[in-house]
Amino acid sequence: MISPDVYHFHDRPGEDWTWTETTFLFFSVPEEGISAYIYVLARPNLGVCHATVDIHKGFCMNLWEIDFIDRQMHLPCPDDFSNFKLPSGLEFKTKNEPRDFQFKYQSADDLCSFEVDFTAMSPPFDPHDPEENPLVKTDISSAKVPGYQGWHNGHMEVVGRITGELKLHGKTYKVDCIDGVDKSWGPRLDYGQQGASWFHVTTRDNFSAYFAVALNFDNKELVYGPLRFGYVAEDNQNFAITDVNMKCQRRDMHALRAEVEFQDVRGREYHALGTPLAAAPFHFNPSVVSYQTLMRWECGGETGYSHFTDFVGLNFLSSGMADKHAT
C-alpha cells in the first residue's frame, strides 16, 4: 500500500550514494499534437538532482526537431521532495497527497512556461503489494524488470486528469488530458542494460489501463513480454491486469501502431489499437533513452489519448540493434 507521504524523501541509509528518488509526469494537448514530459531524479545522499522538461509537437525523429528541451544535471537536491523549486525554473508541490499535486515551470529564456494540476482518478497503485498486484503471489519478481533497478524497490503508479496552461514559443495552449505518474525510491545504479514498455490506454474520463511490460530484442525487433504489472483504473477503483499480449509496428524505434489485448482480475477482456499523434526520443538520463509516442487509442468503441513509451538502456539498445561488435 502506498503511504500518504510518498512524495517526501523516504528513510534511507545515509552512506548509500546510489539511493535515488524520482518522479515524472506526461501531459499533452492532443488536438495540437503536443506532448510534454517532466522528469526529476534526486540522489539526496549526494545532494544533487537532475531535471528534464521536453515538449514537442508532432513527429520528431531527431533531437534537433524537438520544440523545447531543458535537461539540467547536478542541480542542488531539494530538502523536501514534496515541495520544491529548482534553479532550472521547475516547481513541484503536493496538495492532497498522494493523489493531487502541481507542476510549474518558467524557462530562463522565456520560450516555455506552464502550470498544470494533477488529480488522481483512482488510488495510487503499489506493484509490490500482493493485494494490489496478484502476480507477485506466485512470482515475487513480477514487480521487477530484469536489468533495471528503478522498479526493484519502492514504486508507485497513478493515473489522473491534468489541467492547466502551457505557453510555448509565444502561443498559449489549454491543457486538459488524462495520463500517468510514476514515483520511485530506493538504491539503484543507472546502468544501461535494461528495457521495458510503460504506457496507458485511456479512452474516457473514468477509464484508463496502465502497463509495465518487459522488452527483448529478436533479430532487431522488439518483443513485448512478459507482463510485469498493470491495472485498470475505472470509477475510482483499480483492477489488476493479469495478462497482456501486444505487438507494435515502428519506425526508428517509435511505435507507429500498437495493438494490445489484455485481461483484468475480473476476467474482463479488452482489445485496444493505438495510432500516434506525436513522437520523439527522450534521453531522460545519460544511460537510457525513451522512445515516446502520444497515442490515439480505440478500445471498446471509445476513443482517448495517452502516452506510450519504450525505454531502453543504451547498452541494451546497442546489443539488440548494432550490426556487429568489436571482438
| pLDDT the model gives residue 149 | 61
| pLDDT the model gives residue 154 | 86
State yes or no: pLDDT of 4 exceeds 70. yes
Instruction: State how many domains the chain has.
Output: 1
Residues in Cβ contact with 193 at an 8 Å cutoff, skipping those fewer than 6 apart: 147, 313, 315, 316, 319
Element holding 321 (H helix, E strand): helix 314-321
272 lies in which domain range? 19-321
How many Å apart are CA 71 and CA 39, to the nearest integer? Answer: 9
| pLDDT the model gives residue 141 | 72
Mean pLDDT of 93-98: 88
3 within some domain:
no
1 within some domain:
no
| pLDDT the model gives residue 148 | 63
Mean pLDDT of 287-304: 94
275 within some domain:
yes
How many Å apart are CA 276 and CA 308, to the nearest integer? Answer: 9
Q: Percent of the chain having pLDDT more than 70? A: 96
What digits encode the pLDDT tens for the residues 123-167? 999 999 999 999 988 877 776 766 666 667 889 999 999 999 999
The CATH number assigned to the domain holding 213 equals 2.40.370.10
pLDDT tier, 292 (very low <50, low <70, confident <90, very high otherwise) = very high
6 within some domain:
no
- Coil vs helix vs strand at 6: coil
State yes or no: pLDDT of 31 exceeds 80. yes
Least confident of 159-163, 248-252, 257-261: 248-252
pTM here is: 0.94
Mean pLDDT of 30-40: 97
Angle at 262 between CA 257 and CA 6, to 5 degrees: 95
Q: Quick one: DSSP state of residue 59?
A: B
148 within some domain:
yes
259 within some domain:
yes
| pLDDT the model gives residue 284 | 79
pLDDT tier, 286 (very low <50, low <70, confident <90, very high otherwise) = confident
Mean pLDDT of 8-21: 92
Q: Other CB atoms closer than 10 Å to residue 87's CB: what's the count?
A: 10
Half-sphere exposure of 211 (CA within 13 A, CB side): 30
Q: Name the E strands within the chain.
A: 19-29, 34-43, 48-57, 68-76, 83-85, 90-94, 100-106, 112-120, 154-168, 171-187, 195-204, 207-218, 221-234, 237-251, 254-264, 269-285, 288-299, 302-313
State yes or no: pLDDT of 324 exceeds 90. no
What is the torsional sign of CA 8, 310, 282, 37? Answer: negative
Mean pLDDT of 167-195: 92
Peptide bond into 98 cis (omega under 30): yes
120 within some domain:
yes
- C-alpha distances (whole Å) from 182 to each of 7, 68, 99, 208, 211 are 11, 22, 12, 15, 12
12 within some domain:
no
